[in-house]
Amino acid sequence: MKEWSERPTEVAYNFNPAFCGWLLREAADGYCSVTPAGLPFPLVFLILPVILHRPTRESLPRSTVTALHPWLREHPEVRVGLADRASQLAVIAREAVLFLSAHSLITLTNDAALVPSGKMARGKAPILAASEEIKTCVGKAKMVGAWFAEAGDVVTVFQMWGVRP
């Protein structure tokens, strides 16, 4: 993990732990709305590459009414480069989880699952002031979390996306 002063400005702005943590917490919240046991830790490494990649994010369905597996069969292009993006964002994802944990915004269960905890200091003001792209990322993160919960276990979700946990 590089020091912040050594990171390119774009990386520091777009992949900062607070923003990426917000996305992961929303995904965990979405997951927990379906399965209260919590978002399995390995899925953290799929959330950011799916949400932060604009072409993938823009092709995602509006809701979980569209099941993951049939959607992936109709959109095979979203799998291209996903494993590389996941590998590149793994450090960022870990850093975001550490940020959330340090601020008591998630709890890691004994089963290695993330459960939202504490209160996000957001109310309506921060999300209203956010750009449309940020609002979209946040909404899609919650949807993807619920989508993954409905899709099956961790191995199944990874297999559908064509990557190994």
d(CA 79, CA 142): 20
**Backbone φ, ψ for residue 113 (5° rounding):** -125, 150
Question: Does the pLDDT value for residue 150 go beyond 80?
Answer: yes
Write out pLDDT tens, residues 109-147. Answer: 999 999 999 776 555 445 555 678 888 999 999 999 999
Contacts of residue 61, Cβ cutoff 8 Å, sequence gap at least 6 = 71, 143
What's residue 126's pLDDT? 54
Three-state secondary structure readout of 58-116: HHCCCCCCCCHHHHHHHCHHHHCCHHHHHHHHHHHHHHHHHHHHHCCCEEECCCCEEEE
pLDDT at 16: 87
22 closest CA partner among 136, 102, 132, 100: 100
* Whether 33 contacts 146, CB under 8 Å: yes
- pLDDT tier for residue 40 given thresholds of 50, 70 and 90: very high
Q: What percent of the chain has pLDDT over 90?
A: 74
Residue 34, number of CB atoms within 10 A of its CB: 15
Q: Read off the pLDDT band of 148 (50, 70, 90).
A: very high
Q: H-helix or E-strand containing 39?
A: strand 39-40
**134 lies in which domain range?**
4-161
Q: Render pLDDT for 59-96 as a digit per residue (tens, 0 to 9).
A: 999 889 999 999 999 999 999 999 999 999 999 999 99
Q: How confident is the model at residue 158 (pLDDT cuts 50, 70, 90)?
A: very high
Domain count, the chain: 1
Q: Which run of H or of E encompasses 40?
A: strand 39-40
Q: Average pLDDT, stretch 7-25?
A: 80
Average per-residue pLDDT for the chain: 88
